[in-house]
Amino acid sequence: MDLEDVRASIKKQGDSGILYAGKETYHHMCRFFSGYFYQVEALKKYKWYWRLEPDVDFSCSITYDPFRMMARHNKVYGYTIALFEEKRTCPSLFRSMSDWKESQNIPSTPLWNAGIDPSWVPWPFRSHMSWFSHRDKHGDGWNLCHYWSNFEIADLDFFRSEKYRSLFQKLEKEGGFYYERWGDAPVHTLAVNMLAEPHQIHHFADIGYRHDWFYQCPANTPGGQLPDSKTLNLVNETWAPEIEGGPTLVNVDARMDLLNGVWAQYKATKSEQRLTMGTRGNAAEAGFPLINTSS
């Protein structure tokens, strides 16, 4: 990858007003969470992860273990909020992932089909729409709906799988994490919708959550929670018993130590991942390779 071209592309994206696309560190972050976070040494002994971000609130008591619920019901990915991606961030991502899917002879799942935005062109001529980079070889597009990845609880083995790693390597070679602003949320979404079955995806509708100006406010009423949430389902006790400090607002910054150093490794990685890179310090040690300047 030519660094001068990368710098010019990032600047052009920023000048065009594409969300966060002018920040090189944001490109690094998206690439890291798309294909390297599950390789971090601190996570190798774990099967499940819960992604915690700064500037989030959890506004309801969580009265059950979400990891146990995911495992018990054979889930691989859980989310709280789904949004539409800004299409200018990833114009060629869907085509790239669709091409890989076709090359691997992976059948379309119901979730994959649900994300398709069918072409309006009559069938005999529909394939001509494939000339556009944002459509697949059949001329269809993606509706841009994605799981917002600042909250996700998922099975690390899904991302460690041979298929996901093969898919990421294809994306890595195409350079879209820098020449465009491919986000980890659409990458995770399209991969999950392609490689998992609908019953393996879980919407945590009973977790009150906020990030930025988007909220999920569950109907926290008796009978409105999961069957195992006995406290919230008691007729006369809508909320779980209070604990010191209050259970209804989680200070995420104070709980970053739960990530066992992953956050610190990520920040070290990000600082080492400048486009003017000339050394291979902590970033390489953390398993996050620097941009390949030889191709």
- Choosing from 152, 172, 242, 272, the catalytic residue is 152
SS3 154: strand
Of residues 283, 289, 253, 281, the one with CA closest to residue 269: 283
In order of 34, 132, 170, 190, 205, the CA distances from 164 in angstroms are 10, 25, 10, 11, 27
Of residues 67, 87, 83, the one with CA closest to residue 75: 67
Q: Which residue has the tokens 């989680």?
A: 250
Phi and psi, residue 214, nearest 5°? -105, 135
Is 24 assigned a catalytic role?
no
Which run of H or E residues covers position 82? Answer: strand 82-84
Q: Which residues, other chains included, contact 197 with Cβ-Cβ below 8 Å and sequence gap of 6+?
A: 109, 110, 111
Task: Give dist(CA 127, CA 123) in Å, integer.
Answer: 8
Residues with a catalytic annotation lie at: 152
